[in-house]
Structure formats: structure tokens, C-alpha cells
Structure 1
Amino acid sequence: MNENVDHRVPVLIVGGSLVGLSASLFLGRLGIEHLLVEKHAATSTHPRGRGNNVRTMEVFRTAGVEQRIREAASVLADNHGILQAGSLTGDDQEWLFKEIDPGGGLARFTPSGWCLCSQNDLEPVLLAQAREQGSDLRFSTELLSFDSDGSAVDAVLKNRETGEHTTVRADYLIAADGPRSPIREQLRIGQSGPGDLFHNVSITFRSKKLADVLGDRRFIVCYLTNPEADGALLPVDNEQDWVFHAPWKPEQGETLEDFTDERCADHIRRATGAQDIDVEITGKAPWHAAERVADRYGSGRVFLAGDSAHEMSPTGAFGSNTGIQDAHNLAWKLAAVLRGEAGPGLLDSYEAERQPVARATSERASARSAEHSHPGYAPPPGAGGGKQGGLLPVALGYRYVRGAVVGADPEQPVVPRGLQLTGDPGSRAPHLWVRQSGERKSTLDLYERSFVLLCDGADVAWRRAAERVADRMSLRLDAFGIGSGSDLEPENGADWAEAHGTTAEGAVLVRPDGFVAWRSAGSVPDPEATLYDVLATLLSRD
């Protein structure tokens, strides 16, 4: 390998969009030095990728950035539901759903909630937060080449403004470099799945009169189904800035140059049924919907995350959320290995856990495109099969049936039919409101920087075992007793053991990413030996 190294860093992140910035945020929170490079000069300026699901907002909550994101998203805070209409002026209108959380039932499962924040608003928040943590993020910097010999990754970077070349040696590389990932291609990692689904041109435009046409209708997206001018309308500020996704058929010889301002404005007027509205075209960006998942999630010290690892239909906004959660899964594992708390075998669990989730989620995204008759999407004969269930089992209920978990049932589906958050190993740990030193918090707020052992407040054996195991293994392991007068006091007399699928004599071990790693239904003869063996298995410790 090249001995003329200009910079040494534990982790190099290539790609500074949502997934790369999230990886930087999560690694920074864990105290892991890293360098992020992005070839573009700044964050995204196009309003896209707006749907942030409840699990994504949970991980942003734990990372201390949820409130800033909600402030950036405040202009769309009152937009809910998906409308399907022949036009905005006729009677052919149907709400596919009007409220994303009707009745407020979601509060039983999470301290967070959905958030409509466009990529151009979200990325600057993540960038600012990462830089405040002291992270090194360099825009206008591209990866020219990389090489790995198994002990490190050498990368050659180019500053696109000055032309200067820099050589960086990293312990690990995260490839968040998009769906046509050059890093994935160099690694010769193939992809599986149906492939291209449809193509759209995303048109940004201004129209003051369109708000008058809409009246009090505040939707996330409206699918307009006029066969002569279909498309999807998305509000940016509900007043004068909008986005319209128009079908594009390059396979029929249609080019981007065919989408003139005049054609786009006419298409929008016909699609909305509002022929008299003002339409000023302000931008156009092509995008391609596809369903593909990488055959491998990395090679050696290089890992794929986000669109480089998977592509999926935009319906349901699953793609960016899955990518952000990739970064969250990988960050704590890299941190554990770099700190010497885990063996490198822990990193094998990244693919074992995240690849099945991507496959199940991408299939669900395509099915949802069929359900919603997404403009431009023609599902293959026999696809879809009717409604596949709600969003929550996909967004929040997915499970790791293999990987860094002990006691998970490998026969269970990765995405269940219903939402089942009852403390099963491999599932996201249950949410309970508790008081800790008088402060109200969710149990989910405990999970970020270490493994956490939960046990009954009256049971000292498990907590003593955790202290001894942490000392023996030289790792941080937080143990909390739950109950009246204990470390954590549940609100309203909630039974923590019942919520976690165990008994008062049992214990639950939760990973830094908030997923249940293991649980014991009751007491064991030797808690210290049991806990040591479980953690040694989870962390690939010999």
C-alpha cells in the first residue's frame, strides 16, 4: 500500500447526502474520529426525500437532533395524508389515508412521530450538528481511487476547487455514494431485484393561485390520475412553492430536453384541472425508481450504506429511511470494534441484519406504488396482490432474525404482519415513559452509547453481574433497575417486565441501537457467567 499518507483516520465516509451525514452524526456521538468527503459543493437544493418515518425520528431523537429537524420542518407540520384525484377541481377525489396517526395511537409505541422534512431542509441540520460535534466534513472533494489490503484502506481524494490531491489511510470506509456507486462497482458487488421500475422528472415551480385552488387541503402528496396528464403534486410551503413529479419515458425515446418549461407548465395545469393558474418553472431534476439490493453489503473493510446498498420505489419514503438506519446500525458496531470492545466478526452482522430488511422493505415499497397507482409505474402482471398492511410494521416493526442477537427466532418474518414490540430478541426494544432522577424520559433514550441491562429494581444480582462483566470485558455496560423507588420509575404503574416479555426475576439486554440483544425470562444460577457468555457471543469475543 501507499506509504505516502497525508492523513490517518479511523473511518472515511464517501458521500455527504442524508446517509453519509447521518453516519457522521452517529459516529461523532460515539466519539469516533472520521472524515466525510462529498464531491458536490454543498448540500442538496432540491426538495425531495421528505418523509422521515418514526424509527428515523427515534434515532435522531437519541442523537440529540430531533427538535432541530422539527423546527426546520415546521412549514409542513400540518400536512397529512395522501390524496388521489382525477384533478384538483373535480369530484373524483379520494383520500388514500387522511391522517398518518389517526387517534394518536402511535404514542403507545414511541416517544417520537413522523416528520415531513425535505432533504434540502434536513441535510443542513445534520451538517451543522455534525460540525458542532467537531467532525471533519469536506465538500467539493471527491474520491479518485481506493485500495485495501485487509489491514487498512488507502484512498486518494481530490479537492475539486483547488485540484489538490490528498492520500488518506482509514481503518474502515463507508460507501454512501449513491445508487450508481463507483465503490460498489470497483468491489464488483452485483445487485438483485426487478431493476428499473419507472422514471420521473421532478419539476419545481411557483404558483400563488394554486394555493387558492387547494383551499384547506393539506396533503403530503396528491397523485393526479388524468391519463392525459398524470403526476404527483407535493407542497413545499403550501403557499407558492411546489414540486410536480411528471412521468418520463426514456425507453420510448423521450429526452430531458423534451421537458421544456412550456410543456411542463401545460402538463401541471392539465393534471391539476386548474387551467388558469400561474406556473413559473424554477427547476427540473430527473430521477429513477428501481428495486435492487446489493448481493453483498461490503468487502473487507469497506461497507455499503444507503442507495449504494439498495434502491427502492419512493412510495412510502422507505429508501432514505432505510439508509439512515443502515448508518445507525453500522456506527455502533464500528465504534465497538475500533474501541477494542468487539472482535471484527461483529461487523459481519451488518449485512446479516440490514440486507434482509432492505429486501423486505423494497418489496413493500413496490407493492405500495401499485396500491397508490404511482404515476409512471406499471406493475408486472400479478404483482401487488392488494393491500399489504400498514406502514408501521415496515417502518418500526422490522426484526433482525440473524446477526448480533441471541435467542431470535430465525423462522420469523423480517417484517411482521402487525406491530409486535414486546421485547423479542432482534426487535426494537419497547418504549416506556420513566422517571430518572426526576426527569421524564423514554426507555429508548437510554440506548446509544453502550449496551444496557434492564432488570427489576429489587434484583441486585443482575446489576452486580453487569458491573463485574463490564470490568472483566473492559467495556461500558449500563444496568438499570426498574420499579418504584428504583433507578427508573415507570409512569402510571406500568409493568416493565410484562412490556418486555419477561418476569420480575428476568433481565433484558439492549444494544446501543435500541434493539433487544437477548433476554432471560427468569433468574439464572450464575448471572455473571450467563451475561459474560452472551456478550462474548454478541461481540465476537474469543
Structure 2
Amino acid sequence: MNAATNADQVVIVGGGPVGMMLALNLAALGVCSTLINRETGPRWHPKGSTQNARTMEHYRRLGIVDAVRAVGLPRDLQTDVTYFTTLDGWELARLTMPSEGEKLAARAAAPADDQEVEPLYRCNQMHAEAVLFDQVQACALVDKRYGHECTSWREDADGVTAEIENLANGRRETIRGRYIAGCDGARGIVRQQLGYAYRGETPTMQPYLGGPMVSTYIRAADIPKVARTRCWQYWVVNTHIRANIVAVDGKSEFLFTTKLDRPDQEPDEARIAKAFRDAVGHDIAVEFVGHGTWTAGQFFVAEKFGAGRAWLAGDAVHLFTPTGGFGMNTGVDDAANLGWKLAAMVQGWGGAQLLDSYEAERQPVAFRNTGASKALNSNVNATPVAPEIGQTSAAGDAARRVAGEYLSGGRPEFASLGVQLGARYDSSSITVSDGTPPPADDLFDYRPSGVPGGRAPHVWIGERHEAGDSLFDRFGTGFTVLRLGRKPAKADGLLAAFAKKNVPVKTIDVDGAVARDLYERDIVVVRPDQHIAWRGNADPADAEAVVAQMIGQQKSN
């Protein structure tokens, strides 16, 4: 047994998108990690299809957004969501949404205060994971242990020790780190040893997205021809089947999802083929590539997100049904929040209260986002489906009109910018309040605000709206001090306090009125995860105390 003694690192268990993003966030701040994952590479089976606006901002911050945009749906594909009785039958409703190319063209022409610096992107999780995997493989600060399993771990006063096993040859090693992060899902070993339970609701049995589900990766190039349209999602709604067909590559590959009868039921290709035929309306050529089972209708949040030297992120702390596309994206935001705090602790500038702020900030967001997903899921299943919906008759016309009117109101599921960008940490011990009430939470509309605790409002600095033209592009990897207005205010006290505490910081002067109007103060401190920590019109009277609070070295008053 070999002993690894690199204590100044974070041990990450779970190499899915959340674990990889945590490793890359740590690396951006110069902190090493060991990434342990059972599989030898990313899983090649489609899952969620949405990289939301906040996730895309994190990709941009890490310098990988262009690589992700290169692997999603074709730029000319309209990302419409269309509902049918069967694909060869009646179209019930269509939610018209722009192609990726149209979104980027709109961004190029947007005003300086436009908040969608990186518009939501329809890209299947397996394609995004492949990009993250390549980035991790190229990162010298990440010790990659794919094809390994963490068999046990223990914590002591100085760090953690993890026992790992190479699944190919049985070779065992001991890995040492300052902290351990469980990004290995609901059944992961980190959460199991911590003994944390989930809080929430068991799945409700309902016509769709409630109970056991099967998602089948298929190749069926004739789907757009049969449906008489190209779009991103094809829904089938009738009296005997509800199914969803999502474009994976925008050409011939799709993910077909429908219900199973029982939780213990294994995917039966003959039954799935019949369900697919029922959804299409007649036989077409189809190749079944693979199947995955899962449970829909679950909305769970862990009772704790970590303690001491062990912390959790992603599915280890929250479980979603995919309505809204919030699951993986919430996990990516977890990684951004936890990453800089673990880096601060490893590098010695984080205070005793800093890691506790992770749960205080992210657990309310998890409850908020799972609640939004639950509400949207209920809407999907409340679709009125009369027995006559598939008939060629006046009654059939009426049934389809009623269903279509209901389904036409489903746009919020696909346009929830408030969920994507609106997470706030107002009550966090490391947010320095100035007494201004935050904007009201809205799941669908995002209102930029300079009130401490929220995402820093975005401003375009350059006219071309390209790489380097965003205010976000100029933020530092650590803290950023913004000095706003035509005559920048002095922030010498803050900068001296950051330097004294060895906190990485960068100063940016922005002289335009747009930024000053959005932030409403002359000086603003932005955290490494792009949330506002403090703002004011002059150096604080006790700058050292303010900086100490931001990094968890003292509790808020």
C-alpha cells in the first residue's frame, strides 16, 4: 500500500460534472485536488439537455465556454418545444424558442446592461461532461484517479485520509488531503459515512414524471420528417401514452423517455419499442443504443451539507426531477461556492466560519430550486387529456383545443431566468449588509441588483460583446474590488486589509454610468463566485473587520 502525503489538497470523490467543476474551480485558485471516480471516463448516455445561463457563466469564468458551445445542438436548430397527439398526428401546441445562433446574435446587439452574458445553451450533459473531462485531463493541478473507488475515509484534526482501490487491478492506495468533498451522488460513500438524511417528498405516482422512468438513447433520423418539423423537444400526449423525445445531436440521435410500470422493472426493449411506436404513430427505423432507469417526482434536500473537513455537493445534497433543468446546474453552482471556500482554507486565508457559510448559502437555494422543479412537474401532469383527443371529430377538435391552450402556458419551464441567475445569500454570515432590502425573489424574471448577497450585475464594457468585453471577464480569480464612476473612490483601506490577510484581490476601475447605476455605490467587493460581498461609497471605517467578515474570520453583527 502506497501512502500519498500531499496534505495541501482536496480529495474529491465523484468525477461527474459537479466533481470536475469543483476540481477546476480549485485549480483556478491554484489549489490541487485528487479526483476519484469509478468509471474510467464520462458516461456516454444522454441525460439533461440544458446548460443554464449561470452554468454558462461559470464555464466562461473558467475559460471553457467556447469548447462547450462547440458540442451542443446545431446553431441553426430552433429550440422549440412541440406537443403532439402522436408524432404523425395532430400538433397540439408549440413553444417557439430561438436557435443558439439567434441567441448569440441577440447578445451581440444587446444594450450594455444586458444580463445574459452567456445565454442558456441546449447541450446534452454527456457532451458537456466530455468537454469537462478533457479540461480535467489537461489540468496539472488535478490528480486524476478515474477507474478508482473510494472504499473508506476518515477525518482527523489535520485533514482526511481516503482509502482508494484501482478497480482494474485491485491495487490500493492511501490518499491524504486537507478536506474531502463528496460529489458522488445520493448513494456516495462520503454522505453515507456522514449519515445525513434527505428531507423532502417521495415520488407521487402520476401519468408522467412520477415514479419509475426509462430513458432510451436512440438513433431515428426520420423523427423530424414524421413530425413535419425540426425542434428540440417533441412531446406526445394522449390517453394511453405520454412521452418525451429530446434532440441530442440535432440530426439523428434522440433521448426517448417514458414510464415503467414498477420500480423494480428492468428495461425491456420490446416494450420500449412498442411505446416508441405508440408515440410516433407507426413503425419507423430506430436503433436502440442504451437504456437508463431513474425515479421521477423526487424532490429531496440533505439535512446537512457537511461539517468539519467533509462537505457535499450536487446530487449528494439535492435530488431533482428534470422539469426546468435545475439539477446539474444547481450542482455546478454548488461547486463554484464550495470551491473558493475550500481553496481559502487550504491556502490559509479562510476563517473558522467560512465553510459553515456554504450550507447556510446553498441549502436555501436547493429548497428553492427543488420547489420550482416540483411546481413545474405538477403543471406537466395536469394537462387535460380527454378521451376524444385522438379522434377526427368535433369533440376531438375541442379536446385538442383545450389541451393546446393549457400546454401553450408551459413556457416558464423553459425560461426560468430568475432561478438561473437569482440565487441570493442575504442572510449569510459572510455577506456584509448595507441595510438595503433585496429584490423580491421571482423564479422566472431576474432583476439585477447591487444589494450585497446577490450575483454581481453584468455590464458590457467592450462594444463587440466578445471575449474580454464583459465586466465578468475582468474580474480576478479571487476577490475583486470595483471602483465605479468617473472619479474612482479610494479603496486603500480595503486593499490593505486584503493584503494583510493574504487574500487574492484585483482592482478594476469602471468609469461608465451604466455600471454605477446598476451597483448604486462607488465601491463594490465581489467574491470569487461573482456574488457581491460588500458595497459602499467610501472605504469602510474598519476595513479589516469588513474583510474578516467576508472571509469567515469573524461573525456578522
- Normalising by the residue count of structure 1, what TM-score does the alignment of the two structures yield? 0.87
Question: Contact conserved, 1:463 with 1:480, CA < 8 A, in 2?
Answer: no
2:138 is the counterpart of 1:132: yes
What is the identity, as a one-letter code, of the residue corresponding to 1:211?
Answer: P
2:354 is the counterpart of 1:346: yes
User: How has the CA–CA distance of structure 1 residues 238 and 459 changed in structure 2, closer, same or farther, with 3 Å as cutoff?
Assistant: closer
Question: Contact conserved, 1:401 with 1:410, CA < 8 A, in 2?
Answer: no
Aligned counterpart in structure 2 of residue 434 of structure 1, from 444, 451, 461:
461
2:454 is the counterpart of 1:446: no
What is the identity, as a one-letter code, of the residue corresponding to 1:431?
Answer: H
- Which of 425-434 and 452-461 deviates more? 452-461
Question: Contact conserved, 2:215 with 2:257, CA < 8 A, in 1?
Answer: yes
Please give the secondary structure, in 2, of the residue aligned with 1:434: coil
2:322 is the counterpart of 1:314: yes
Please give the secondary structure, in 1, of the residue aligned with 2:191: helix
**Equivalent residues in 2 for 1:325-340, closer than 5 Å:** 325-340=333-348
> What is the CA–CA distance in structure 2 between the aligned matches of 1:337 and 1:186, rounded to whole Å?
22
2:67 is the counterpart of 1:72: no
Question: Contact conserved, 2:78 with 2:99, CA < 8 A, in 1?
Answer: no
Please give the secondary structure, in 1, of the residue aligned with 2:448: coil
1:423 matched to which residue of 2? 450
User: How has the CA–CA distance of structure 1 residues 467 and 425 changed in structure 2, closer, same or farther, with 3 Å as cutoff?
Assistant: closer
Please give the secondary structure, in 1, of the residue aligned with 2:525: strand
Question: Contact conserved, 2:72 with 2:249, CA < 8 A, in 1?
Answer: no
Question: Contact conserved, 1:73 with 1:118, CA < 8 A, in 2?
Answer: yes
**Equivalent residues in 2 for 1:176-195, closer than 5 Å:** 176-195=183-202
User: How has the CA–CA distance of structure 1 residues 300 and 330 changed in structure 2, closer, same or farther, with 3 Å as cutoff?
Assistant: same
Question: Contact conserved, 2:56 with 2:119, CA < 8 A, in 1?
Answer: yes
2:26 is the counterpart of 1:24: no
- Which of 124-133 and 459-468 deviates more? 459-468
What is the identity, as a one-letter code, of the residue corresponding to 2:4?
Answer: D
Q: How many residues align?
A: 507
TM-superposition CA deviations, 1:26-81 (whole Å, max 9, x none): 11111101100001122111011221100000010010000000111144762413
2:417 matched to which residue of 1? 392
The structural deviation recorded for 1:100 is: 8.6
Question: Contact conserved, 1:77 with 1:116, CA < 8 A, in 2?
Answer: no
Q: CA RMSD in A?
A: 2.7
1:487 matched to which residue of 2? none
Question: Contact conserved, 2:37 with 2:147, CA < 8 A, in 1?
Answer: yes
2:526 matched to which residue of 1? 510
User: Gapped runs of 5+ residues in structure 2?
Assistant: 204-209, 384-408
2:129 matched to which residue of 1? 123
> What is the CA–CA distance in structure 2 between the aligned matches of 1:482 and 1:500, rounded to whole Å?
11
Aligned counterpart in structure 2 of residue 293 of structure 1, from 279, 282, 301:
301
> What is the CA–CA distance in structure 2 between the aligned matches of 1:299 and 1:172, rounded to whole Å?
10
> What is the CA–CA distance in structure 2 between the aligned matches of 1:330 and 1:509, rounded to whole Å?
19
TM-superposition CA deviations, 1:203-255 (whole Å, max 9, x none): 12222322321343212x2221123122111112233222101111325xx61
What is the identity, as a one-letter code, of the residue corresponding to 2:470?
Answer: S
2:200 is the counterpart of 1:174: no
1:406 matched to which residue of 2? 432
The structural deviation recorded for 1:111 is: 1.6
Question: Contact conserved, 2:489 with 2:523, CA < 8 A, in 1?
Answer: no
2:288 is the counterpart of 1:281: yes
Please give the secondary structure, in 2, of the residue aligned with 1:246: strand
The structural deviation recorded for 1:342 is: 1.7
What is the identity, as a one-letter code, of the residue corresponding to 1:120?
Answer: M
TM-superposition CA deviations, 1:378-417 (whole Å, max 9, x none): xxxxxxxx98965011111121122221117798688435
User: How has the CA–CA distance of structure 1 residues 413 and 460 changed in structure 2, closer, same or farther, with 3 Å as cutoff?
Assistant: closer
Aligned identity (percent) is: 30
> What is the CA–CA distance in structure 1 between the aligned matches of 2:434 and 2:195, rounded to whole Å?
32
1:539 matched to which residue of 2? 551
User: How has the CA–CA distance of structure 1 residues 222 and 409 changed in structure 2, closer, same or farther, with 3 Å as cutoff?
Assistant: farther
Please give the secondary structure, in 1, of the residue aligned with 2:234: strand
Question: Contact conserved, 2:235 with 2:244, CA < 8 A, in 1?
Answer: yes
1:223 matched to which residue of 2? 235
The structural deviation recorded for 1:153 is: 1.0
User: Gapped runs of 5+ residues in structure 1?
Assistant: 376-385, 484-489
